[in-house]
Amino acid sequence: MNHLLSIEELSREQIEKIVDLGCELKKDRKASPQVLTGQQWALIFSKSSTRTRVSFEVGIRELGGSVMFLSSADIQLGRGEPIKDTARVMGRMIHGAVIRTFAQQDVVDFAQYSGIPTINALTDDEHPCQVIADLQTIKERLGGWQGKRLCFLGDGDCNMARSWIWASVHLGFELVIGAPKAFQPQESFMQRVPSGTIRIVDDPAEAVRGCDVVYTDVWVSMGKEAESADRIETLKPWQINSELLKHANQGAIVMHCLPAYRGKEITDEVMEAHADVIFEQAENRLHAQKAIIVEITRKS
């Protein structure tokens, strides 16, 4: 394993190993293995970020490496230099790259042409680092995901929904995608998913019923701003509020990858009531991503 480009391409064993290592690394940040000593890493971001940027910058330094942040607007990539040329230049100077962009193919191409460890820090297709951190949170809070039911509410065709679908395929927990027809996973995507693994439900109460984890994400993902008004209108019934949560299992946890838009996908009341889990998810980005870096830089 030299890269982390998607949850789709991981195995159950690889996911479990990274999550376990993330739990281990969390116990003592000062004892982080210095696997990046002498290494220069770059964060190449074409979209905004708070958590991902901060957690990778801190994590890479804690592992002994140096890190530079490159907004695509500031490098020639933003003026149209091809990703494969950017990759070939950087591959000759740096030791690893963390990329946030639009097309999944761009992280695939960067990994191929740079020849250095490459991590997908969010594309339109997947957000693998977030799901690994969230699995760590579920393990800490619920003891694991085996036998648990998670529902993902709202935009069921976004990057987070897709990464959760692949996590369910590999790990075997029950996943319900709760979304209105217009926001259900696309047919072309579902053709890649083994049939019968996930349930798609278009009634909010029905989607939440019997769930141990109720998960949501922003209704307007980065790049979809032009569709804001339509999305907010169509997704209104899918807000996580205290009324809807009555249908979930007793003790169900609410999760959100953040940033959250209170009054849209989640109420302020629910956000605050479940803040300990939600901000633990954010913290776990640091530990989980250090584990990812340790795994992909491991000399076999």
**Cβ nearer to ligand CP, comparing 26 with 88:** 26
Which residues within the stretch 166-225 sit at the binding site for ligand NVA (CB under 6 A)? 217-218, 221-222
Shortest Cβ 107–ligand NVA spacing (Å): 14
Measured distance CA(96)–CA(38) in Å, rounded: 12
Which residues within the stretch 37-56 sit at the binding site for ligand CP (CB under 6 A)? 49-52
Measured distance CA(187)–CA(56) in Å, rounded: 34
**Cβ nearer to ligand NVA, comparing 149 with 256:** 256
184 in contact with ligand CP (CB under 6 A): no
User: How crowded is the C-beta side of 201, counted as CA atoms within 13 Å?
Assistant: 19
Q: Is 127 annotated as a binding residue?
A: yes
Alpha helices, DSSP H, located in the chain: 12-26, 51-62, 83-90, 104-114, 128-142, 159-171, 187-190, 204-208, 228-235, 242-245, 268-273, 275-297
Strand-pair category, 66-71 with 149-153: unpaired
* Pattern 109-148, ligand CP, x by CB under 6 A: -------------x-------x------------------
258 in contact with ligand CP (CB under 6 A): yes
The entry of ligand NVA, ligand CP, none that residue 159 binds, CB within 5 to 8 Å by partner kind = ligand NVA
Q: What residues have CB less than 8 Å from 31, skipping those under 6 apart?
A: none
* Residue of the chain from 151, 161, 240, 257 that contacts ligand CP (CB under 6 A): 257
- Among residues 74, 19, 67, which one has the least CA distance to residue 45? 74
Binding-site ranges for ligand NVA (CB under 6 A): 122, 127, 158-160, 217-218, 221-222, 257
